[in-house]
């Protein structure tokens, strides 16, 4: 799971989206999956 988090963040364009929002999106995706 931890290895998938950074990959998702990189795909979600962390440079355009702040890290705080990226973390929230990762949590949502993890719960949905």
What is the pLDDT tens value at each position of the chain, 33 positions in all? 555 556 555 555 555 555 555 455 555 555 555
pLDDT of residue 24: 55
Q: Could you tell me which of 30, 20, 18, 31 has the C-alpha nearest to residue 8?
A: 30
CA dihedral 7, 11, 17, 22 (to 10 degrees): -40
pLDDT of residue 19: 54
pLDDT of residue 23: 52
* 21 close to 29: Cβ distance less than 8 angstroms: no
pLDDT of residue 31: 54
pLDDT of residue 15: 54
Q: Give this prediction's pTM.
A: 0.15
């Amino acid at each position: 799971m931890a290895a998938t988090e950074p990959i998702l963040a990189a795909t979600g364009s962390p440079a355009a989206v702040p890290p705080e929002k990226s973390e929230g999106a990762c949590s949502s995706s993890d719960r949905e999956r």
